[in-house]
Amino acid sequence: MTLSLKLIGYPIEHSMSPWIHNEFLKRSNLEGTYELFEISPEESFEDNVTTLKKSVLTGFNVTVPYKQKIMQFLDEVDDTANLMGAVNTVSIRDGKWIGYNTDGIGYLRSLYAAYPFLKGVTNKRVLILGAGGAARGIFHALVNEGYNNIKIANRTLSRAESIIGTNKQALAISLEEAAEELHQFDLVIQTSAVGMNEPRSIIIVDRINEDTVVSDIVYQPLETHFLQLAKQRTPFIHHGHTMLLYQAQAAFEIWTGTNVNVSGMDMQIEQILKGR
């Protein structure tokens, strides 16, 4: 069987996903294609979905700005994606469109790949910076995994509170409080857009401990200003492009049932992104 996979979003011409999934196809000896299906905001989203519904597809990825918008066109949405209110992977089975979200699990897998000693130690004190869609995905993946000591810091406190909902083991705080309390965390995860293509850090990082693990999910630049500053205080740095790889691995698993070995691919992605 030849797999037919796509990515919908805008803009997507520089997406790493085609390279990643073509590599997965090769590594798992499967035949198939992974193509871009760009939908500009001026086009009718509904018309494009109708076109997709008519084509023979195995599944597709969904990226910005359609992760929420796609949900009304799905036949089923799995629990995780429902909790996150966003879908990044659609699998088509017997004509049914089923939505998933692999962003949170992708983050966790990439974190454990970089720092295996974190696996199974869920009493870590975690700080999430930012409260957008990415933060929501990571928060739910952490809670699902059993983490029970999480704070979310955001410029707009109500957005952090809305992610936490009724969870009694999590707390929303301001960015100023986060900077002040930074030494109290074992894992700090930067999820906001601050630092993307700009040398700026969302908070002052002077108080990070020497054994704190620090993630930034931004991967353009490959090492954000935030990570560069954090790196002066702790050796445990976790780069955003690895999350990209593992969310793709989890999506590929949903489509094919194959758990593809990704070894070495993080370095290859790094080289490709560096060459841009």
Binding mask 132-161 for ligand ATR (x = CB under 6 A): xxxx------------------xxx--x--
3-state secondary structure (DSSP) of residue 246: helix
Q: Which is nearer to ligand ATR, 84 or 265 (CB)?
A: 84
CB atoms within 10 A of CB 52: 19
Question: How far, in Å, CA of 97 to CA of 65, rounded?
Answer: 19
Task: Decide if 231 is catalytic.
Answer: no
Residue 192 interacts with ligand ATR (CB under 6 A): yes or no: yes
Q: Smallest distance, Å, CB 117 to ligand ATR?
A: 28
Q: At closest approach, how far in Å is the CB of 251 from ligand ATR? A: 17
Burial (0-12, 13-18, 19+ Cβ within 10 Å), 48: middle
Residue 127 is classified by DSSP as: E
Choice between 109 and 136, CB closer to ligand ATR? 136
The β-bridge relationship of strands 59-62 and 32-38 is unpaired
Selected catalytic residue, list 26, 67, 231, 274: 67
Choose among 198, 181, 176, 201: nearest CA to 190: 201
Q: Number of residues in contact with ligand ATR, rule: CB under 6 A?
A: 15
Nearest distance, CB of residue 132 and ligand ATR, angstroms: 2
- In whole angstroms, the minimum distance from the beta carbon of 111 to ligand ATR comes to 17
What is the C-alpha separation between 59 and 138, in angstroms, rounded? 23
Enumerate the active-site residues: 67
Residues at the contact surface with ligand ATR, assessed by CB under 6 A: 130-135, 154-156, 159, 191-194, 202
